[in-house]
Structure 1
Amino acid sequence: MNQPTELTIAVDVYRQRRERVLTALREAGGGVAIVPTAPEVLRNRDADYPYRHDSYFYYLTGFTEPEALLVLDASAASGEPRSILFCRAKNVERETWEGFRFGPEGAREAFGFDAAFTFDEIDAHLPHLIADKPALHYAFGASAELDGQVRGWVEAVRAQGRSGVTAPGAIHDLLPVLDEMRLIKDAHELAIMRRAGQISAKAHRRAMAACRPGVREYELEAELLYTFRKHGAQGPAYGSIVAAGANACVLHYPAGNAIARDGDLILIDAACELDGYASDITRTFPASGRFTPAQRELYDIVLAAQQAAIDATRAGVDFEAPHQAAVRVLAQGLLDTGIIDRQRFASVDDVIAERAYARFYMHRTGHWLGMDVHDCGDYRERSAPRDEQGAIPWRTLKPSMTLTIEPGLYVRAADDVPERYWNIGIRIEDDAIVTATGCELMTRDVPVKVDEIEALMQAARASAGAACE
């Protein structure tokens, strides 16, 4: 069975990342790093959940097969392998059932490793690889099974102590090193993320065009999933949120079977994963194709809050700045509409100080985005001194960081809220690349302004009507 002809591997990208990790480990005193991929997970009986590799492992290898593990030896002597892959052996019979496998030799050549062995040989090689090394770099806690194996390898080395062999004197968590690397995206990553954003935007446009009163949430979800796969994405980056009417006030509502009714807003938070990278888009639009005055009033507040956050997103500001900008606009809007009692709060500063807005806006304005939809990396400067209030300062944004910008308002039915706003849930979310002077939005191929959304939906209905004549 031949290697898939359409497979394209950016070998140098992954090799350079491994070299950066090796350099960081040498600067920390050397040692060996162990990076596993994700295990396969049984769904029921003999059916597995769709396999998805571990993000850290993929970041350093580009390798997507299960049963694999990477070893990086920063203390290797001259001529010894520094990057070693363990993977499944070639097996013609299993490939007949499950598809192509690289095998150790194929993987070594294709992905640029110094050496490769079968996964079955891992217990024989690992004690030798970690013996006499100053430190072991490994993320304990992710897998109880692998944690036990690692302890077994260390114990096997300790058992050779009378022969003069020493086990690693320290164990360090490798993830902070990888988190810092993954926070700043390279050109290879940004190109994939831009394309993922474009595909997801197509999906949202298709869902808007397909929406009518009477359609069910899962029907709109189907339009999204079709578009993801149609344009080459591997699937959704997370469980799609498709919420009609009051369901939009449930932040993580899964697409269900509720019917979109005339007068409802539809909130869709859904996006694809492409080549290991997530996108993340939310749009809110009317089932009828026209916003009601109250819906438009709140929508314009959320859109203004998003624009304020976008304007605040640039290199040199802290991560909290976009959130603070959005909160101020939302708090003022809640006062202006009377959703927050103007008799009780004299100013927007009072609303913010008492967090009165949090009843209607309970989440933050963004999160890191990358291989994981909520990507890795600290939000605060771990090594910085605490401020006068004892808090750790927020991280400063840098060029090529990627994050979402997603304010919202969620107004449930309540006696102290004007009835025209009841059960309106609105969120608007785009994906951004931080630049020196601002940010680049990767997901604006789908409309965000009221007039543009209505125009798209009306054009789709006119086109569908003409096709039926």
Structure 2
Amino acid sequence: MKLYNYLIILALLFASEVFSQTPTDFLSAEFHKERRATLRAKMPANSVAVVFANPIRNRANDVDYVFHQDPNFYYLTGYREPNAVLVIYSDKQTDASGNTFNEVLYVQKKDKVREQWDGKRLGVEGAKTELGFAVAKNGEEFAKDNINFKNFTKVFAEKFKDDYRNSSRNNAEVYDLVNGFKNQSGYGDIKETDPNVAYVYNMIANVPDPKLEEVAKSIYNNFEKYPAFKNDELINKYATATNNELRKELKQKMIIAAAKKPDTNIDTKFLSTKMAEMREIKSEAELKLLTKAIRISAVGQIEMMKAMKPHMSETEIQGIHEFVYKKYGAEYEGYPSIVGAGNNGCILHYIENNRTHVDNDMVLMDLGAEYRGYTADVTRTIPANGKFSPEQKAIYNIVLEAQDKGIAASTVGGQFWQPGEEAKKVINKGLFDLGIIKSIDEKHNYFPHGTSHHIGLDVHDPGTYGAFKENMVITVEPGIYIPDGSNCDKKWWGIAVRIEDDILITKNGPKNLSEEAPRTVEAIEKMMAKKSVLDDFILPSLD
């Protein structure tokens, strides 16, 4: 009888695991706890950090977008619900009952009515048992605790974009939590610095002197997109400076201005800087999830290569990729999917995907699955009819060589800009050899972007963008884009090629995590010749 009962219990446990409706391979509570401890260790004495969950964002009328957690908040807590705030103290605090603590997670409270409509909530007890917080409270307690932020030497928070609304559903939404913090801390009294301006100051402070002119031109070209650049006196003078000596002088002034201590204990730079330092190096647990997201995305590219037909629409191609993601259990796409055929591929962030037939053009497919919060970013460009034309092949092989050089430069100790420099050399020579540009040094817009960025919880993950370190994961994504009407032979018009892979920086050299998706002309054509499981998937006509 005892053995029988034991077997029954085992069977029930097995069934519970197999038929569980919730994924079990998220990061562990221990991971997030360790991340909080790491941040706390970076904080000076008598300081406090306040981090807010993302708000729910409205799509239209009474329909909201699918909620997505703020990556920094998730990284520190593992909490995947809205209307929450995390408070981390550098030193032990004592409550009225004499209990000590150094962190508090305020969450949205349990509510049977709302949970029937919107889904289960962890609540205070769930935050304790599942996320491992010793102290958790309902969100409305944040205001009632009346934390005296004025007593701390430093109060760390991120700049608020104020892109949330008051739905008046309760008094503990992110809208209320943020406003309560502003009132209690005096945040509302400080003068905000445009985050893009702060980013430029930091970038110029860290750029090597030989690159000052190149950076100045880039900033100048973004005056229209970011008016704050032109309105900032130092940035304006730097971008329009006529020589490097003046740029060096302005660089020093920016370093001094950025280091000037504000007349407040609120610091809106510390958190973003320290979180970037932490997030740019991936742990073993993170690499496991990120690698899975990347492999899912690579399989999506493979299946699309086999399924591609000239009669397909860009939207259908997008759908096949995203179908593969869902089959593997990926919750979302990491960013809006880009599928651009022909001239549409020349639009770097083309997301309309509304061309009804891709015909015989090249199709640029830049898509990435998000798996358990971690986002891939993989691009392949393939001929819709399965065979590269001579012109398509010529452009493609230049980009492929550029990418190979960029990947080879992605080594521990190398600088973040080096893959781009290597790629640019190859692309300029290749375009010159084809007669598309008149000299190897000609300024052109056929390769208008950099090659690399971090990936992780964000598709453009934060980082210091300095020297490469072990266990960083970056993209290497050179491209050539020749829009219709370009100043070259018409036979090149409408060809756009980008090849993007996700590269793990290791002490033994770069490792291509997305190499499963074919990259060479020969391998792509061979894959496209294979039968697709979707070939016989024919829907009835609705005409």
TM over 0.5: yes
8 Å CA contact 1:245–1:260 kept in 2: the answer is no
Q: 2:91 is matched by which residue type in structure 1? A: S
Q: What SS class does the counterpart of residue 75 from structure 1 fall into? A: strand
Q: 2:33 aligns with which of 4, 7, 15?
A: 15
State the shift of 1:155 in Å. 5.6
State the shift of 1:262 in Å. 4.0
Q: 2:337 is matched by which residue type in structure 1? A: S
Q: Which residue of 1 aligns with 2:489?
A: 418
8 Å CA contact 1:240–1:255 kept in 2: the answer is no
Matched, 1:449 2:517: no
**Superposition pairs of residues 237-316 of structure 1, within 5 angstroms:** 237-316=334-413
Q: 1:152 aligns with which of 176, 183, 188?
A: 183
Q: What SS class does the counterpart of residue 76 from structure 1 fall into? A: strand
State the shift of 1:186 in Å. 0.9
Tell me how far apart the structure 1 counterparts of residues 446 and 23 of structure 2 sit (CA, whole Å). 48
Matched, 1:141 2:160: yes
8 Å CA contact 2:341–2:361 kept in 1: the answer is yes
**1:295-330 CA distances to partner (integer Å, 9 max, x unpaired)?**
001101100000000111100110111001000000
Tell me how far apart the structure 1 counterparts of residues 305 and 357 of structure 2 sit (CA, whole Å). 12
Q: Which residue of 2 aligns with 1:97?
A: 117
Q: Which residue of 1 aligns with 2:278?
A: 181
**Superposition pairs of residues 246-395 of structure 1, within 5 angstroms:** 246-341=343-438, 345=439, 348=440, 351=441, 354=442, 356=443, 358-379=444-465, 395=466
Tell me how far apart the structure 1 counterparts of residues 535 and 150 of structure 2 sit (CA, whole Å). 69
**1:103-128 CA distances to partner (integer Å, 9 max, x unpaired)?**
11211121111200101221112x23
**Superposition pairs of residues 120-139 of structure 1, within 5 angstroms:** 120-125=140-145, 127-128=146-147, 130=149, 132-139=151-158
Q: What SS class does the counterpart of residue 15 from structure 1 fall into? A: helix
Q: 2:100 aligns with which of 80, 85, 110?
A: 80
Q: What SS class does the counterpart of residue 297 from structure 1 fall into? A: helix
State the shift of 1:197 in Å. 0.3
Q: 1:24 aligns with which of 42, 54, 60?
A: 42
Q: 2:312 is matched by which residue type in structure 1? A: V
Tell me how far apart the structure 2 counterparts of residues 416 and 361 of structure 1 sit (CA, whole Å). 14
Tell me how far apart the structure 1 counterparts of residues 333 and 359 of structure 2 sit (CA, whole Å). 28
Q: 1:149 is matched by which residue type in structure 2? A: G
Q: 1:148 is matched by which residue type in structure 2? A: N
Q: 1:404 aligns with which of 475, 493, 497?
A: 475
Structure with the greater relative contact order (CA < 8 A, sep ≥ 6): 1 or 2?
A: 1
Moved more, 177-186 or 92-101: 92-101
Tell me how far apart the structure 2 counterparts of residues 438 and 409 of structure 1 sit (CA, whole Å). 26
Q: Which residue of 2 aligns with 1:54?
A: 70
RMSD: 2.4
Matched, 1:44 2:60: yes
**1:137-178 CA distances to partner (integer Å, 9 max, x unpaired)?**
11133337555322211369x9xxxxxxxxx96112222111
**1:84-111 CA distances to partner (integer Å, 9 max, x unpaired)?**
1111111222222222111112111211
State the shift of 1:188 in Å. 1.1
Matched, 1:458 2:541: no
State the shift of 1:378 in Å. 3.1
State the shift of 1:449 in Å. 0.8
Q: Which residue of 1 aligns with 2:330?
A: 233
Identical-residue share of aligned pairs (%)? 33
Q: 1:172 aligns with which of 242, 252, 267?
A: 267
Question: Against the structure 1 CA distance between its residues 92 and 431, is the aligned structure 2 distance closer, same or farther, given a 3 Å change threshold?
Answer: same
8 Å CA contact 1:280–1:430 kept in 2: the answer is yes
State the shift of 1:129 in Å. 5.9
8 Å CA contact 1:134–1:169 kept in 2: the answer is no
Question: Against the structure 1 CA distance between its residues 80 and 218, is the aligned structure 2 distance closer, same or farther, given a 3 Å change threshold?
Answer: same
Tell me how far apart the structure 2 counterparts of residues 24 and 409 of structure 1 sit (CA, whole Å). 42
State the shift of 1:16 in Å. 0.5
Tell me how far apart the structure 2 counterparts of residues 403 and 265 of structure 1 sit (CA, whole Å). 25
**1:24-76 CA distances to partner (integer Å, 9 max, x unpaired)?**
11xx2331110001000111121101100000000001110111111101122
Q: 1:172 is matched by which residue type in structure 2? A: D
- List structure 1 runs of 4+ shifted beyond 6 angstroms: none
Q: 1:46 is matched by which residue type in structure 2? A: D
Q: 2:105 is matched by which residue type in structure 1? A: L
Moved more, 233-242 or 76-85: 76-85
Question: Against the structure 1 CA distance between its residues 241 and 261, is the aligned structure 2 distance closer, same or farther, given a 3 Å change threshold?
Answer: closer
8 Å CA contact 1:15–1:112 kept in 2: the answer is yes
8 Å CA contact 1:82–1:114 kept in 2: the answer is no
Question: Against the structure 1 CA distance between its residues 376 and 462, is the aligned structure 2 distance closer, same or farther, given a 3 Å change threshold?
Answer: closer
Question: Against the structure 1 CA distance between its residues 408 and 253, is the aligned structure 2 distance closer, same or farther, given a 3 Å change threshold?
Answer: same
8 Å CA contact 2:150–2:265 kept in 1: the answer is no
8 Å CA contact 1:369–1:404 kept in 2: the answer is yes
Tell me how far apart the structure 1 counterparts of residues 358 and 265 of structure 2 sit (CA, whole Å). 61
Q: 2:313 is matched by which residue type in structure 1? A: R
**1:173-204 CA distances to partner (integer Å, 9 max, x unpaired)?**
22211111111111111111100001111111
How many residues of Structure 1 are paired with residues of Structure 2 in the alignment? 426
Q: 1:281 is matched by which residue type in structure 2? A: V
Q: What SS class does the counterpart of residue 410 from structure 1 fall into? A: strand
Alignment TM-score, normalising by the size of structure 2: 0.75
Q: Which residue of 2 aligns with 1:66?
A: 82
Question: Against the structure 1 CA distance between its residues 4 and 458, is the aligned structure 2 distance closer, same or farther, given a 3 Å change threshold?
Answer: closer
Q: 1:221 aligns with which of 307, 318, 336?
A: 318
